[in-house]
Structure 1
Amino acid sequence: MKHGWVRRHEPTDHEWEVPAPLMPRAGTGRPRAEDQRIAGGTVHTIRTGITRRDLPERYGPWKAVHTRFRRRALEGAFTHAPRQLRAEAEAAEQPNP
């Protein structure tokens, strides 16, 4: 992460380069919390089983983590993004005619 620390199960800056373009861009209004931090908070919540209210502060506001996870789930991002990544990887493996 840009903060100089990476915890176990959190994406490194290099790993974040793959899913980052799949994240919807911020609209107008209040500045959003950093996507990579929020994604790390989501992963931490899933891996540890804690409630979002108990998230360490390094992941940003727990409400932001909850809201963004819920939005992405309703948009189907957790099924669409892996399919898109898989298709891109398979296309990269195909020899050019």
Structure 2
Amino acid sequence: MAKKSVIARNEKRIKLVAKYAVLRAELLKAGDYEALRKLPRDSSATRVRNRCVLTGRGRGVYAKYGLCRHMFRKFALEGKLPGVKKASW
């Protein structure tokens, strides 16, 4: 389980990205890099981390499911993810 402060920081970044998305797009289109530089750093989409919705784990996250590899495997084996089954050949 990730620390609550790390999860909260990422949530804050997600809100900032949404808040400044339109302004950032306009500035990029206009080529005004000085104004872009003055925006908050955390308003950039590259600073947002994909995290597991259950555990908050930041690495090994399947974006399609929003789960880390541990939770994905657990739910897949329990049959809680529709259309997912263990491979065998």
Asked if TM exceeds 0.5, the reply is no
Which of the two has greater helix per residue? 1
Structure 1-normalised TM-score?
0.25
In our comparison, the structure showing a higher alpha carbon Rg is 2
Which of the two has greater strand per residue? 2
